């Protein structure tokens, strides 16, 4: 563990792990959430969990949403991220309780914004999302969900109903000690601009996207 010198010249251990920093009310168009802010001392990322209602401990409806500036903020149709975030927030409100953990540092499946844009440029030339990352010498998926598990533990959540189409996300949570009681599909109707991307996610990244069958059969 790295040490730093304190004001009196004594060595003090550098903080590690995930620390809850602030809890603030956050009224939104979906409903009134609590925004619980965390600092990941290991990676330096600032994280936030949007909490709605009284969670309890078991079978809590959750979404682990990877940061996606282009989809979440700009409405990009290259992916379905913005629509999934919208659907997840609406779902926890309809449920009466739940959590959306917004995971910063996950842009482009963990490769960062500029690298993601470079990958998107390669996809425009004909590569799929997996091929584009590999062509740039980058991992296909560099995301880590340890911080999400630690946030859920801090919130007192022991088992979850995970809104995701990605079985690897479920496996990652389980590996970090969170019980996944159910994986809840979060299916967004495809559009012309993202159908190839979604097919690649299903065929090469094992995402469960059965709603694409009708689109594939009619194309």
Query: Catalytic site residues?
Result: 141, 143
Pick the closest to residue 155 from 19, 58, 55 (CA basis): 55
- The rounded distance, in Å, linking the Cα atoms of 101 and 92 is 12
Cβ(144)–Cβ(151) under 8 Å? Answer: no
- For the chain, give the longest Cα–Cα distance: 72
Structure tokens belonging to residue 172: 């990652």
- The rounded distance, in Å, linking the Cα atoms of 14 and 6 is 10
What secondary structure letter does DSSP report for 6?
-
Please provide the DSSP assignment of 145-207 as one string: -HHHHHHHHHTT--EEEEE-S-HHHHHHHHHTT-EEEEEE-------TTTHHHHHHHHHHH--
Strands (E), the chain: 3-5, 11-13, 18-27, 32-40, 46-52, 60-66, 98-103, 159-163, 179-184
């Amino acid at each position: 563990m790295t040490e730093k010198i304190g004001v009196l010249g004594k060595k003090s251990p550098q903080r590690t792990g995930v620390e809850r920093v602030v809890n603030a009310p956050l009224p939104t168009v979906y409903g009134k959430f609590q925004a619980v802010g965390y600092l990941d001392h290991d990676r330096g990322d600032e994280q936030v969990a949007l909490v709605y209602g009284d969670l309890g401990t078991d079978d809590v409806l959750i979404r682990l949403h990877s940061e996606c500036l282009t989809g979440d903020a700009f409405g990009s149709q290259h992916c379905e991220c913005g629509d999934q975030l919208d659907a997840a927030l609406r779902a926890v409100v309809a449920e009466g309780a739940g959590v959306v953990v917004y995971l910063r540092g996950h842009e482009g499946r963990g490769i960062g914004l500029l690298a993601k844009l470079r990958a998107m440029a390669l996809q425009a030339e004909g590569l799929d999302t997996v091929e584009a990352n590999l062509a740039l010498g980058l991992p296909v998926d560099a995301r880590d969900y340890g911080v999400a598990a630690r946030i859920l533990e801090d919130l007192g959540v022991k088992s979850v109903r995970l809104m995701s189409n990605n079985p690897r996300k479920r496996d990652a949570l389980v590996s970090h000690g969170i019980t996944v009681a159910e994986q809840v599909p979060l299916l967004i109707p495809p559009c012309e601009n993202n159908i190839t991307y979604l097919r690649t996610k299903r065929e090469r990244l094992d995402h469960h996207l059965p709603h694409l069958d009708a689109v594939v059969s009619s194309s």
